[in-house]
Amino acid sequence: AIYRSMLTVVFLDHWMACIWTLQARIFGIDGSWLTYNGYCEVEDGEEMCSGAWNLYTASLYWATATVTSIGYGDISASPGNAAEQIVAVLLMLCSAVCWTVVIATFCGVIANWSPASTAFRCTMDQLNHFMRAEALPMDLRQRLREYFREMRQIREVVWSKDLLDKMSPSLQSEVVLACNEKWLRRVHYFRSVSESYLIDLALQLQVSLFAPGELLPHSELYVVHKGYALYGGRVKKPGDSWGEDMLLASHQLRRDWCGLALNYLEVWHCSRTVLLRTLSLFPADYRRVRRLIIFLALHREVVRRAREKRLEELAEGEVQAFTTGFSRPSQGRRRGRFSCTRRKESSEGVLHATLLARKRLTTHSADGVCVLENATAAISIASEDKAQLSAIAAQMQSLTATVNSLSVIVRDDLDRWREMAILAHESQKLKSQGSAHISERASSDTEAQTSPARCSQRRSITLGSMARKGLSRRSGSAKMQSTREAAA
């Protein structure tokens, strides 16, 4: 479309240049754009013009400026020449229509130049809008953009499958075989199968993309198409495969290992069910693959039993010889390497140690059961002791309350004894005061003989004071009696 548009513009410029010069010849050179712009001169009825090449380049220049809608205006229709102006208008209209078609063609070609890139940009716009709406963190946004950028190749593979579906069966088979035979033949099972089976299997394969650090599920056949993976301690590069042993019926003979994506990993994979279903459609290929499966199963079973037998033999000997052989370098070799025999002995020593650990585990399992039973009994005894301890704790709490009450009673008794001591001291003072009153009474009797009125007055005072002291003495004796009763 681009080439056709370019040729259209070139031919349009050429014909417009020819028409633009021809109309000047038809309607007369005098007063046309040729004489107006100095390309021709008319003297005494004779026309003197420049060379044909100069006239053609000038006309082509005007036609190109008109078609491309630039229109510099340095070459134009001469003023006052109506015929020439009408021709110029018609040529401008034709060039405008043709230029519009050319522009539309270019726009359509550019818009559909890469559908994958257009779809990818639309997907990235949707992703950016989603991340802004959900307010995702920046590190997660970066990982999402990187993942979708790597998914671009997967999208192209899906479109390729759509194109294959639109092809005829024969063309489809040829294209699939040309694209996938090289790497499918690297799988051990598929080296001797027919091309028809390879075509059918290639159409059943699925493509997936794994981010760095993701694990690939086991029990599937994987073929690396892009990136690197780690499987069984080995790095798998593009074209390598693993999981061929998924067709083995015994799980003990399979390697149930998961692959690890080291970077963005693009793989082709299929499940065991799909592989068996496609094999059932090709009996001859099924027999070939079945023979290989039996051989693989026999090989792995022999290796497994030999290893177990070797472990049993090593269990009867000593481990010290193998451990010393594992740590001692071989003689006659370069420094830092081991001989083949030492490597075998080291591996056997490791296997023997594993077997001994397993046996020790089985022998100590009974002791573990006994220990568990003893622990159960100890727990039951501890629960009974806990109940007794709780009862003792309750008794101790009651005794503590009793002791607290006794301490309060003793404190009250001490206060009472202190009061009794004070009362005894007061009674002693009262006795001394009583003797003093008796002597005063004797003296007052002698004085009463001399002065009866004064004597009677003193007698009344003395009797009043003695009555008060008697009352105080009685109250003191009552307090002492109550204190004694409380102490008892």
Q: Which residues of 345-382 are buried (b: 16+ CB within 10 A; e: fewer)?
A: bbebbebbeebeeeeeeeeeeeeeeeeeeeeeeeeeee
Instruction: Among 110-114, 199-203, 320-324, 443-447, name the most confident range.
Output: 199-203
Mean pLDDT of 234-246: 86
> Does residue 451 surpass a pLDDT of 70?
no
> Does residue 89 surpass a pLDDT of 80?
yes
Mean pLDDT of 316-334: 50
Q: Looking at 61-70, 164-173, 235-244, 415-424, which range is the least confident one? A: 415-424
> Does residue 344 surpass a pLDDT of 70?
no
Q: Name beta bridge partners: 231.
A: 234
Helices (H) and strands (E) in the chain, counts: 13, 10
Q: Looking at 76-85, 175-184, 202-211, 424-433, which range is the least confident one? A: 424-433
Task: Please tell me which residue, 254 or 477, carries the higher pLDDT value.
Answer: 254
Q: Looking at 26-30, 217-221, 321-325, which range is the least confident one? A: 321-325
Give the alpha-carbon dihedral of 259, 261, 266, 269, to 10 degrees.
10
pLDDT confidence tier of residue 420, bands split at 50, 70 and 90 = confident
User: Hey, which bits of 45-175 come out as E strands?
Assistant: 46-49
DSSP for 159-225, please give it: HHHHHHHTS-HHHHHHHHHHHHHHHHTTSGGGGSS-HHHHHHHHHH-EEEEE-TTPEEPSSEEEEEE
Would you state the pLDDT for residue 337?
40
Question: How distant is the alpha carbon of residue 236 from its chain centre?
Answer: 24
pLDDT confidence tier of residue 392, bands split at 50, 70 and 90 = low
Would you state the pLDDT for residue 11?
92
Would you state the pLDDT for residue 480?
56
Place of tokens 């001994």: 356
Element (H, E) at 267: strand 265-271
pLDDT confidence tier of residue 355, bands split at 50, 70 and 90 = low
> Does residue 321 surpass a pLDDT of 60?
no
In degrees and rounded to multiples of 5, residue 241 shows phi and psi of -140, 160
Give the alpha-carbon dihedral of 302, 305, 308, 310, to 10 degrees.
-50
Mean pLDDT of 95-110: 88
Residues in the chain: 488
Nearest residue to 13 (alpha-carbon basis) of 81, 68, 85 = 68
Cα–Cα distance measured from residue 271 to residue 195, given in angstroms and rounded to the nearest whole number: 20
Which structure tokens are listed for 102? 């050319």
In degrees and rounded to multiples of 5, residue 231 shows phi and psi of -140, 125
Would you state the pLDDT for residue 113?
77
Cα–Cα distance measured from residue 245 to residue 61, given in angstroms and rounded to the nearest whole number: 75
Element (H, E) at 259: strand 259-261
Helices 283-316 and 272-280, axial angle in degrees (round to 10):
130
Mean pLDDT of all residues belonging to the chain: 75
Would you state the pLDDT for residue 453?
46
pLDDT tens digits along 256-295? 888 898 888 888 888 888 888 888 888 888 888 888 888 8
> Contact, 352 vs 314, CB < 8 A?
yes
> Contact, 245 vs 236, CB < 8 A?
no
Name the 3-class secondary structure at 271. Answer: strand
Place of tokens 């009408």: 86
Cα–Cα distance measured from residue 316 to residue 101, given in angstroms and rounded to the nearest whole number: 93
Residues contacting 211, CB < 8 A, separation 6+: 143, 147, 261, 264
Residues contacting 243, CB < 8 A, separation 6+: 218, 219, 220, 221, 222, 269
Would you state the pLDDT for residue 61?
92
> Contact, 185 vs 191, CB < 8 A?
yes
pLDDT confidence tier of residue 470, bands split at 50, 70 and 90 = low
Would you state the pLDDT for residue 442?
60
* Percent of the chain's residues with pLDDT above 90: 7
Alpha-carbon dihedral sign for residues 405, 406, 411, 414? positive
Mean pLDDT of 320-346: 46
DSSP class of 56: H
Say what the pTM is. 0.43
Cα–Cα distance measured from residue 374 to residue 228, given in angstroms and rounded to the nearest whole number: 55
pLDDT tens digits along 120-139? 888 889 999 999 998 899 98
Helix, strand, coil percentages (3-state) for the chain, rounded to 5, are: 75, 10, 20
